[in-house]
């Protein structure tokens, strides 16, 4: 038995100026930029209300798109469950697994990222 839920929306930006992209999405979505912004990072997490889904901008070299992150208390069991549903593993990273849905959409599976996991996660047998 394990648990999982949708954790993040990640906006992949093919850019050399992630801060500029983050400013756009901050204004568009109404979520402020973080106070302690690291301009050298490949990630900028907008400030969302506590417990809400996180919105993260990621600097990438591939085509721009958005992907979902599924958070789980057992990466191994969640990946196996998703494989049974038809997803495939694209790559394994240190802290997450990149998968591809039968529709061709990529998504990541990793450990819980935000508050409220115990209250909001689905339980799988």
Q: 87-104: per-residue pLDDT in tens? A: 999 999 999 999 999 888
Mean pLDDT, each 10-residue run in order, the chain (125 residues): 95 94 94 91 94 92 92 97 96 96 92 89 93
Domain assignment of residue 66, given as a range: 2-124
Q: Residue 42, Cα to own-chain centre: how many angstroms?
A: 14
- pTM score: 0.84
Cβ burial, residue 70 (10 Å; 0-12/13-18/19+)? buried
CB-based contact 67:105 (threshold 8 Å): yes
CATH assignment at residue 58: 3.10.180.10
**How many structural domains comprise the chain?**
1
């Amino acid at each position: 038995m394990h648990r999982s839920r949708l954790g993040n929306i990640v906006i992949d930006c093919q850019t050399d100026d992630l801060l500029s992209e983050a400013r756009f999405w901050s204004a568009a979505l109404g979520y402020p930029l973080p106070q302690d912004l690291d301009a050298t990072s490949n990630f900028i997490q907008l400030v969302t209300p506590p417990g809400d889904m996180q919105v993260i901008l990621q600097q990438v070299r591939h085509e721009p798109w958005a992907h979902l992150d599924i958070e789980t208390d057992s990466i191994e069991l969640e990946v196996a469950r998703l494989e049974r549903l038809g997803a495939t593993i694209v790559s394994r990273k240190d802290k997450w697994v990149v998968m591809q849905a039968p529709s061709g959409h990529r998504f990541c599976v990793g450990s819980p990222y935000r508050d409220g996991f115990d209250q909001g996660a689905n339980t799988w047998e």
